[in-house]
Structure 1
Amino acid sequence: MTNILYSCYTNVSREGEQFIPEHVFSYQISGKLQMYDGNKLHVFEEGDFRFLKRNHLVKFTKIPPENGEFKALSVRLDQQTLRDFSREHGYNEVKHQHVEPILSLKHDPLYKSFMDSLTPYQLKPLENQKLMTLKLTEAILILLQTNPELAGALFDFAEPGKIDLEAFMNKNFRFNVEMKRFAYLTGRSLATFKRDFGKLYQMSPGKWLQNKRLQEAYHLLKEKGKTVSDVYLEVGFEDLSHFSFVFKKKYGLAPSKI
Structure 2
Amino acid sequence: MNDKQMNRHADLLAVCYGDQRYGGEKTFEENVLVSVLAGELKVVQAARTLHCGAGDTVLLPRNQPAILLKYPKDGTAYRAVVLKLPTTLVQAYYQQHSPAPTRPAAANVLLFPKNPLLQSLFASLLPYLELEHRLPDKLLGMKITEVLEILRGLDKQSDEVLADFGEPGKLNLVEFMEANYMFNMPLARFSYLTGRSLTTFKRDFKKAFQLSPQRWLTQKRLTLAHYQLAEQRKKPVELYLEVGFENLAHFSYAFKKQFGYSPTALVR
Q: TM-score, normalised by structure 2?
A: 0.86
Question: Structure 1 residue 107: deviation in Å?
Answer: 4.2
Question: Structure 1 residue 236: deviation in Å?
Answer: 0.9
Residue among 104, 112, 119 paired with 2:111: 104
Post-superposition CA distance 1:196-223 (Å, at most 9, x none): 1011011110111011112222222233
- The 1:151/1:220 distance shift into structure 2, 3 A limit, reads closer
Q: 1:13 matched to which residue of 2?
A: 22
Residue 89 of structure 2 aligns with an amino acid whose one-letter code is T
Post-superposition CA distance 1:135-182 (Å, at most 9, x none): 112111222233333222212111111111111111111111111121
Kept after mapping to 2: 8 A contact 1:6/1:72? yes
- The 1:18/1:138 distance shift into structure 2, 3 A limit, reads same
Q: Distance in 1 between matches of 2:119 and 2:264?
A: 47
Instruction: Trace 1:207-218 onto structure 2 (pairs within 5 A).
Output: 207-218=215-226
Q: Distance in 2 between matches of 1:148 and 1:198?
A: 42
Instruction: Trace 1:59-208 onto structure 2 (pairs within 5 A).
Output: 59-87=67-95, 89-91=96-98, 97-124=104-131, 127-128=134-135, 129-208=137-216
- The 1:213/1:111 distance shift into structure 2, 3 A limit, reads same
Structure 1 residues 179-188 or 241-250, which shifts more? Answer: 241-250
Post-superposition CA distance 1:91-134 (Å, at most 9, x none): 37998723242111244432222122112124446722322222
Q: 2:51 matched to which residue of 1?
A: 43
| Aligned positions, number | 256
Residue 22 of structure 1 aligns with an amino acid whose one-letter code is E
- The 1:156/1:94 distance shift into structure 2, 3 A limit, reads farther
Residue 134 of structure 2 aligns with an amino acid whose one-letter code is E
Kept after mapping to 1: 8 A contact 2:93/2:145? yes
SS in 1 for 2:240: helix
Structure 1 residues 66-75 or 180-189, which shifts more? Answer: 66-75
- The 1:229/1:244 distance shift into structure 2, 3 A limit, reads same
Q: Distance in 2 between matches of 1:51 and 1:180?
A: 25
SS in 2 for 1:20: coil
Residue among 4, 10, 13 paired with 1:4: 13
Q: 1:25 matched to which residue of 2?
A: 33
Kept after mapping to 2: 8 A contact 1:94/1:156? no
Kept after mapping to 1: 8 A contact 2:181/2:221? yes
Kept after mapping to 2: 8 A contact 1:21/1:55? yes
Correspondence 1:219 to 2:198: no
Gaps of 5+ in 2: 1-9
Residue 142 of structure 2 aligns with an amino acid whose one-letter code is L
Q: 2:237 matched to which residue of 1?
A: 229
RMSD after superposition? 2.3
- The 1:255/1:70 distance shift into structure 2, 3 A limit, reads closer
- The 1:191/1:92 distance shift into structure 2, 3 A limit, reads farther
Q: 2:257 matched to which residue of 1?
A: 249
Q: 2:7 matched to which residue of 1?
A: none
- The 1:31/1:257 distance shift into structure 2, 3 A limit, reads closer
